Amino acid sequence: MDNNTLKIRNFLELSGNLIYLKKLDKEYIEEYWQGLDHGSIEATVFTGTQQVFGRAGVENFLEYISADNSRVDFLIFSKETNKIIGEVVINDIYRNNRSASMRIAINKKEDFSKGYGSEALILALNYGFGMFNLHRIELEVFNYNERGIHVYEKMGFKKEGIKREGWFFNHKYYDVMTMSILEDEFRAKHISSEDSLREFL
């Protein structure tokens, strides 16, 4: 990735080569809800979504997270279409431990394997480590999601443990893998010391 990949235009928008991230806001409620309502079944399976979202529920959710300072929710926009294609979230932020969790979802199967998710992960991780001063970020992935596990390992995430049969879907239990990345691991892989400040100038 070139220098523009990690460039922070301002604290509300992060810009990459293929996508950009914007903070989830009521301004995007209709498009956000449509993305949830018309997403591919593959996205539902990979993210473990077990509930159906109505528009009123999405409105209530946005109201709830607007007052929650333990998370930041980003929408993923395609630079080609300027349409929402997914979301990436840093949540469960514990300031004392300098730790957090994260999750990512690409709404439609046709947007898989295009590099959108990888770039969104790097932008969000850069924000978490660079702006929130986090030390550790973890995520969970289902054991059958081999594509996701490969991407996370490529990003620098390490496998930590397994929650045996931790998720139930369609009459069957599946293992849930915990993976994490530390700030030094992220910086060594994705940030050069010469560029860390230059992106703001």
Of the residues 32, 152, 173, 174, only one is catalytic, namely: 152
CB 180 within 8 A of CB 99: no
17 secondary structure, DSSP code = S
As given in the structure block, the two tokens for residue 118 are: 């990888």
Residues recorded for the chain: 201
Confirm whether 173 is a catalytic residue. no
CB 65 within 8 A of CB 71: yes
CA 10 to chain centre: 18
| CB proximity list for 113: less than 8 A, separation 6 or greater | 147
Q: Give the DSSP H/E element, type plus range, for residue 172.
A: strand 172-182
Residue located via tokens 């980003």: 74
As given in the structure block, the two tokens for residue 127 are: 């924000």
As given in the structure block, the two tokens for residue 27 are: 């301004």
Question: Which DSSP string corresponds to 152-170?
Answer: HHHHT-EEEEEEEEEEEET
CB 91 within 8 A of CB 103: yes
Q: Which residues are catalytic?
A: 152
